[in-house]
Structure 1
Amino acid sequence: MDYNVLVVYTLNDPDVQAVHIHRLNCRKVLSQAVHIHRLNCRTVFSQPVYIHRLNCREVFSQEVHIHRLNCREVFSQAVHIHRLNYRAVFSQAVHIHRLNCQAVFSQAVHINRLNCRAVFSQAVHIHRLNCRTVFSKAVHIHRLNCRAVFSKAVHINRVNCRAVFSQAVYIHRLNYRAVSRKQCTFTD
């Protein structure tokens, strides 16, 4: 059953708009498309978008798919991915959990059997994926150590990413903190 878009103005912040989209297509999101499933999204700068089993396309800034995560205190987007703690993200486009991320303006991360295409800055294929057409670097992560990434630091599957210029993504039982030229710590 499809649902209509629900704009909620009263989460924890009256200025926050929570858009719940279930089994719908999220298109032309001005700022953020956040996929949240059984999660608590708080203090989102622009809009937390709830998307489940959907295609998020033509996102101006970010596309975030989240499954059982807690989003808190994000400047542009707080991305909690797979029981992880994601904090202080400046700008990321993360596609997770059987989704197709296309035409992402800043970044697109395909995770868990996904296909990342037409990424402006970086296309990161993770978990049995191929990374192609990366603007700066193609980072394959899966039991690997990703270091000195120009734009994104991706912590995935017990991996240690260090010296990240702008962003850090904690994925799969990892805890990423102190982004922007700071070391990524890893907790199992």
Structure 2
Amino acid sequence: MLKLADRMVISFCAGVSASTAHTWTTIRTGADVRVMTRKSVDDPGRPPGIVLSAATSFWLPVSPKRVFDFLRDENSRNEWDILSNGGVVQEMAHIANGRDTGNCVSLLRVNSANSSQTNMLILQESCTDATSSFVIYAPVDIVSMNVVLNGGDPDYVALLPSGFAILPGGTSGVTDAISGSGGSLLTVAFQILVDSVPTAKLSRIGCNS
């Protein structure tokens, strides 16, 4: 489970940074949102097709600790995560991976009235220190997760992670990470599969969505 979470974080960072090792095609960029696409072919760690990544950064007049605690708390998840579909999110597994109580890998289950989501779990890793914090998550199906928990190879579980990176930043540009006061620079990035056919062309309607 930790190995799967580690790959999830690496995949998220690759989707935001668009390094030369992970080639993305920029279809929209500006002061508000950057949108990129990538073709996923013969990659057992990603679903096949065209993956779209949308990312933006903005400042919040809220301390980094408060933002981090809100985003990682499963009880407040239905206030911002469309995957919860307004349902109750329950933590099924919790693995601590740091001294801070916020440093952990969690396996979440959505108890939703929508029957189509009963086979979906959410893998999440959260991490925080004095310099930055992140909350990264990805939906996984129960069958794949059971394979991993029973000793199966996590490299063959398809993941499309989304998440948040939080940097401390006061209103005057002076950071105050120790006291947790001041504001936060929040980067939000989402990845979705827009077409299961890698050779498909992304329509203008899809871009606007």
Q: Report the TM-score when normalising by structure 1.
A: 0.26
Q: Give the structure with the larger helix fraction.
A: 2
Q: Which has the higher contact order (CA 8 A, sep 6+)?
A: 2
Which of these two proteins has the greater Rg computed from alpha carbons?
A: 2
Q: Report the TM-score when normalising by structure 2.
A: 0.24
